[in-house]
Chains A and B, each alone.
Chain A
Amino acid sequence: MRITPKDEVRPVAGAESQEQPPVWRHRHILDLDDFSAAEIGLVMETSDAMMEILSRPIKKVPTLRGKTIVTLFYEPSTRTRSSFEMAAKNLSADVVNLNAQVSSSVKGECLTDALATLEALGADMVIMRHPMSGAPYVAARRIEASMINAGDGWHAHPTQALLDLYTIRQHKTSLKGLKVVIVGDIKHSRVARSNIWGLTKMGADVTVCCPYTLLPFGLEDTRGIFPEVTVTPDIERALEGADVVMALRLQKERQQSGLLPSIREYARYYQLTEARLAEAKADAIVLHPGPVNEDIEIASGVAHGPQSVINRQVTNGVAVRMALLYLLSGSKRL
C-alpha cells in the first residue's frame, strides 16, 4: 500500500506536470519545524526503499561505505541508539558509540570540545542525544559534520516523529484529516512536540490529552508560533472517533515534583485502557514511543493487543533512520 500524503509530494505523472520532486536541503536534522510536507513525503518514500532492503536476506548495502557516524549520547538510551546503529551499519557506515555526561562545572567547553574532537577524528555525521533542549543547535553551529538530533530535553525528537508518521502511513490511507490523539505527559515530551509539528504539517488533526499540570503553556494558543492543537483533560472525549492514539511514557519523578498527586491517580484517569480505546474508531491504531510502563500510561492488554503497532514502530525506526542517513549523506546510489 502506497499513499501520497500531499499532492506535491509525488507530482501526477504525465506531460502536463512540470513539478520537480522535492529537493533535500537539510544538512542537519534538528526538528521537523523546518520540514515541508513534501520533504516529509520524501523521507516516507525513501523509507519505503529502505524497508525493501530490510526485507532482503542480506540487509546491507554499500551506500555509506567509508563514512564515519558517531552516536554521542548524554543520556542513556537503548532503543534509539541501537536503531541508529543498525541503520548506519545496514548502510555500511563505520559507527562509533560514545557516552558522555553533562557537567555544569566545565559547561560549554565540554560540549563544544567533544564535537571538535569528533570532527577532528573524521566524523561525517553525529547523532546526539542530550538532556537539555537546544543542545544540538549549539552543536550544529559549531561543526561541519551533519548533526542528527536523537532527542534534546523537552524539545524535539524528529526521527521518532518521522517513524511515527511512517507507521501511521502504513496503516491509514492518508494522514490528512486523521484524528490523532496524544495522551500523557505533553509538557516534558520531545516526542509530542516533534509529532505535533510533523502531524500538523501533513494535515492531521491533533488532540492532546493530559492533566493540566502536564500541559505546556499556551499549547492551545492560536498565534501560530506553535501549531494549533485541541486540548482536553478528558480522555474519553479525546479518544472519541480517534484514528490514531499515541500514549507517552510517564516519568515517575512527575509525582515527586508535585505535578501529580500520585501515579495511581494518573493511571486511573489517563491510562489507555481497552474500555477507553473503544471510544476510538474500530480500526484505530495505538502507538507508544517506548519504553512502555505497562499498566501506568497504557494497559498491558492494549500495549500487546491487536490495535497496537508498537513493535512495528521499532522495525520502521530502522528503515526511517536509514532513509535519513542516506538523504543527509547526499549519496546518489542505494
Chain B
Amino acid sequence: MTRPLLIKNGHLIDPARGLDETGSIFLADGRIAWVGGGKTPPTDYNIIDAGGLIVCAGFIDLHCHLREPGYEEKETIATGTRAAARGGFTTVCCMPNTDPPLDNQATIDYVKSTAASQGAVRVLPIGTITKGGQGRELAEMAEMSEAGAVAFSDDGCWVDDSRLMRQAMEYSQAFNRPVISHCQDAALSEDGQMNEGITATRLGLRGIPAAAEEIAVARDIALAELSGCRLHIAHISTASSVELIRRAKDRGIRISCEVTPHHLTLTEERVMGYDTNAKINPPLRTAGDINALINGLNDGVIDIIATDHAPHTENDKLCEFALAPFGMSGLETALGSLMGLVHDGKLPLGLLISKLTTAPAGIIGPDFGRLGTLKEGAAADITIINPDHEWTVDASQFASKGRNTPLAASHLKGRVMATIYNGKLAYKDASIKAGEAND
C-alpha cells in the first residue's frame, strides 16, 4: 500500500475551483485527501517540499501516439508513459493507428492491460472510428467503449466518406464518447510534405494548403450539427479553422478542439534545410496562424492543448524529406515550449494550466475518474512545475524512444520537476527534496 504523501508549501493552482495560493496538499489512498494549510496528517507519510514551485493537477494529453502494439521500435507503452511522466502528464489518451490498429475490444484490452502492468501513468486508449482505420465500415464502437475506449478517432486520416462519418457521429452518442476528427482533405493534401507557402516553393516541396484542413473542419461542423454528436477536432493549425470553430460555437454546435504546443510556437521556416524532424502533420504553418491560435486559446475557441506526441526512430527520419514520416516527439518539451508563451505575456499561466487539466478532463467526461482538478476526492495526480527553470533540450536524454524533435538544443524556460500519479512519484527531478516525514 502506498504511503500517503504531503506536498507542502507549493503554489497551488487549480482553475477548476479558482484556487491560486500557497499551501499544502495531502494525498492518501490514491485521492486528494485535503488541500490547504495548517493541518497535520495523522499517520506516517512521505513529504515533498514544493517551496517556490507550482503545484497543479496532473496534465491530461488527449492526443498522443504510444505506438504499441506494432511499432515498438518507435515507442512502447512503458517508454511513452515515462516520457509522459517527465512532461507532467498523468493521463495520456493514445491514438489507435497501431499495428494491429485499436479497432476492437481485444486490442483495447491489450493496451489497458499492458498499461496496467508497465505504464508509468494512466493510459486511456482511443479506438478507431472505422474498421482498421480504413474509412469504409464502422468499427465496433460500443464494445470498445465498454472495454474502456475513451474516444474514437481515425487519426492520421480523415473519414472522407461523409455518410459514414455522419453514421459514426450518430452511433457513438449512445455511449457518450467523443469522436475525434483529424481534419484534412486527402485529395488536396495528397503527397504534401509541408505547409503550402513560400517556404515550400523555395524548398521545392509539395505543399499542404490550409484549405485542406478548413474544408474538413467545415464539413465536420456541419455533420456535428446534423447529428448532435460531441465532436472534437484534433490539432487545428490554421487561422481560418479557428474562425470556423468560433462561428460554430457561437451557433451552439457541440464541438471542441485542440491545438498542439508546436503549432503554437513553431513556423514552417523550421523546415528550411530539410529538417525531417520538422515534418509534421498538420504541417507547421505561419506566424499569422500562430497568432490566431494563441488568440483562440485566450478567448476559449480552442478548448485544450494536446501534444500529438509522434515518436519515430532516428532511421525513420534519416532520409529524404519526402520519405520521412510525419510527427515529432512532444511529451517532454510540451510544458517548456508552452511556458515560453506565458513568459512572453501571450498566455496567462492559469489558462495554460486549465487547457492541460480541467479542460481535457471535461472532454473525457466523468467515466474515467475525477481528473484534472485539485478538489478533495479527485485522483491523486499532481504535477509540480518550476516556471523559471531554464534548460536546453537534449533529445538523447528523453525517456521517449522518439528523439525526433525540431527543438533539439533549444533553450526553454519552465520545466516539470515532479509528477505524481495515483499518489506515487512517477517522475522527480534530482533537485526536488522528497523524504519520509519521520526522517
Q: Contact between A108 and B323 (Cβ–Cβ < 8 Å)?
A: yes
**Residue in B200, B318, B324 whose beta carbon sits within 8 Å of that of A217 in the complex:** B200
- A130–chain B nearest beta-carbon distance, Å: 7
**Residue in A108, A110, A216 whose beta carbon sits within 8 Å of that of B316 in the complex:** A108
Q: Contact between B201 and A226 (Cβ–Cβ < 8 Å)?
A: yes
Residues of B within 8 A of A156 (CB): 204
Residues of A within 8 A of B199 (CB): 225
Q: Contact between B197 and A138 (Cβ–Cβ < 8 Å)?
A: no
Q: Contact between B202 and A226 (Cβ–Cβ < 8 Å)?
A: yes
- A109 contacts partner chain B, Cβ-Cβ < 8 Å: yes
Q: Contact between A226 and B323 (Cβ–Cβ < 8 Å)?
A: no
- A332 contacts partner chain B, Cβ-Cβ < 8 Å: no
State in angstroms the CA–CA spacing of A158 and B214 once bound together. 37
Complex: chain A residue closest to B202, CB-CB: A226
State in angstroms the CA–CA spacing of A130 and B322 once bound together. 11
- Whether A111 touches B321, Cβ cut-off 8 Å, given contacts A133-B204, A134-B205, is no
Q: Contact between B204 and A226 (Cβ–Cβ < 8 Å)?
A: no
- B432 contacts partner chain A, Cβ-Cβ < 8 Å: no
Q: Contact between B200 and A134 (Cβ–Cβ < 8 Å)?
A: no
- List residues 191-214 of chain B with CB under 8 A from any CB of chain A: 196-207, 209
- A193 contacts partner chain B, Cβ-Cβ < 8 Å: yes
Complex: chain A residue closest to B195, CB-CB: A217
Residues of A within 8 A of B226 (CB): none
Q: Contact between B198 and A225 (Cβ–Cβ < 8 Å)?
A: yes
Q: Contact between B321 and A133 (Cβ–Cβ < 8 Å)?
A: yes
Q: Contact between A108 and B205 (Cβ–Cβ < 8 Å)?
A: no
Complex: chain A residue closest to B268, CB-CB: A225
- Whether A134 touches B319, Cβ cut-off 8 Å, given contacts A217-B198, A221-B198, A223-B198, is no
Q: Contact between A133 and B197 (Cβ–Cβ < 8 Å)?
A: no
Complex: chain A residue closest to B207, CB-CB: A217
- A107 contacts partner chain B, Cβ-Cβ < 8 Å: yes
Kindly supply a per-residue 1/0 record for chain B positions 264-293, scoring 1 wherever the CB is within 8 Å of any chain A CB and 0 otherwise: 000001000110100000000000000000
Complex: chain A residue closest to B321, CB-CB: A134
Q: Contact between A225 and B200 (Cβ–Cβ < 8 Å)?
A: no
**Residue in A132, A155, A216, A223 whose beta carbon sits within 8 Å of that of B323 in the complex:** A132
Q: Contact between B203 and A155 (Cβ–Cβ < 8 Å)?
A: yes
- B161 contacts partner chain A, Cβ-Cβ < 8 Å: no
Q: Contact between A108 and B198 (Cβ–Cβ < 8 Å)?
A: no
- List residues 134-181 of chain A with CB under 8 A from any CB of chain B: 134-135, 137-138, 152-156
State in angstroms the CA–CA spacing of A108 and B42 once bound together. 60
State in angstroms the CA–CA spacing of A156 and B274 once bound together. 13
- Whether A152 touches B204, Cβ cut-off 8 Å, given contacts A107-B319, A107-B320, A108-B318, is yes
- A308 contacts partner chain B, Cβ-Cβ < 8 Å: no
- List residues 209-252 of chain B with CB under 8 A from any CB of chain A: 209
State in angstroms the CA–CA spacing of A110 and B204 once bound together. 22
Q: Contact between B321 and A218 (Cβ–Cβ < 8 Å)?
A: no
- A102 contacts partner chain B, Cβ-Cβ < 8 Å: yes
Residue total for A at the interface (Cβ-Cβ under 8 A):
31
Complex: chain A residue closest to B319, CB-CB: A108
Q: Contact between B201 and A137 (Cβ–Cβ < 8 Å)?
A: no
Q: Contact between A104 and B198 (Cβ–Cβ < 8 Å)?
A: no
Q: Contact between B204 and A108 (Cβ–Cβ < 8 Å)?
A: no
Which one of A134, A153, A217 has the greatest number of beta carbons of chain B within 10 Å?
A: A134
State in angstroms the CA–CA spacing of A218 and B195 once bound together. 12
Kindly supply a per-residue 1/0 record for chain A positions 35-59, scoring 1 wherever the CB is within 8 Å of any chain B CB and 0 otherwise: 0000000000000000000000000
Residue total for B at the interface (Cβ-Cβ under 8 A):
27
Q: Contact between A134 and B201 (Cβ–Cβ < 8 Å)?
A: no
State in angstroms the CA–CA spacing of A152 and B209 once bound together. 22
- Whether A218 touches B197, Cβ cut-off 8 Å, given contacts A108-B319, A108-B323, is yes
Complex: chain A residue closest to B314, CB-CB: A108
Q: Contact between B274 and A137 (Cβ–Cβ < 8 Å)?
A: yes
- A232 contacts partner chain B, Cβ-Cβ < 8 Å: no
**Residue in B204, B316, B317 whose beta carbon sits within 8 Å of that of A190 in the complex:** B204
State in angstroms the CA–CA spacing of A155 and B193 once bound together. 13
- A263 contacts partner chain B, Cβ-Cβ < 8 Å: no
Residues of B within 8 A of A153 (CB): 204-205, 322
Residues of B within 8 A of A110 (CB): 319
Complex: chain B residue closest to A193, CB-CB: B204
- A112 contacts partner chain B, Cβ-Cβ < 8 Å: yes
Residues of B within 8 A of A260 (CB): none
Residues of B within 8 A of A226 (CB): 198, 201-202
Residues of A within 8 A of B315 (CB): 108-109
State in angstroms the CA–CA spacing of A138 and B204 once bound together. 15
- B333–chain A nearest beta-carbon distance, Å: 23
- A219 contacts partner chain B, Cβ-Cβ < 8 Å: yes
Residues of B within 8 A of A33 (CB): 202
Residues of B within 8 A of A154 (CB): 204-206
Kindly supply a per-residue 1/0 record for chain A positions 122-135, scoring 1 wherever the CB is within 8 Å of any chain B CB and 0 otherwise: 00000000101111
Which one of A110, A130, A135, A223 has the greatest number of beta carbons of chain B within 10 Å?
A: A135
Q: Contact between A134 and B320 (Cβ–Cβ < 8 Å)?
A: yes
- B201–chain A nearest beta-carbon distance, Å: 4
Residues of B within 8 A of A109 (CB): 315, 318-319
- List residues 31-51 of chain B with CB under 8 A from any CB of chain A: none
State in angstroms the CA–CA spacing of A111 and B317 once bound together. 12
Residues of A within 8 A of B201 (CB): 216-219, 226
State in angstroms the CA–CA spacing of A100 and B134 once bound together. 34
State in angstroms the CA–CA spacing of A93 and B183 once bound together. 54
Show 16 residue pairs from A and B whose CB-CB distance is below 8 angstroms, ordered by the A residue.
A102-B320, A108-B319, A108-B324, A112-B318, A130-B320, A132-B320, A132-B322, A132-B323, A134-B322, A137-B274, A154-B204, A154-B205, A155-B203, A217-B196, A223-B198, A226-B202
5 additional A-B residue pairs with CB within 8 Å, beyond A109-B318, A225-B269, A226-B198: A107-B319, A138-B319, A155-B205, A217-B197, A217-B201
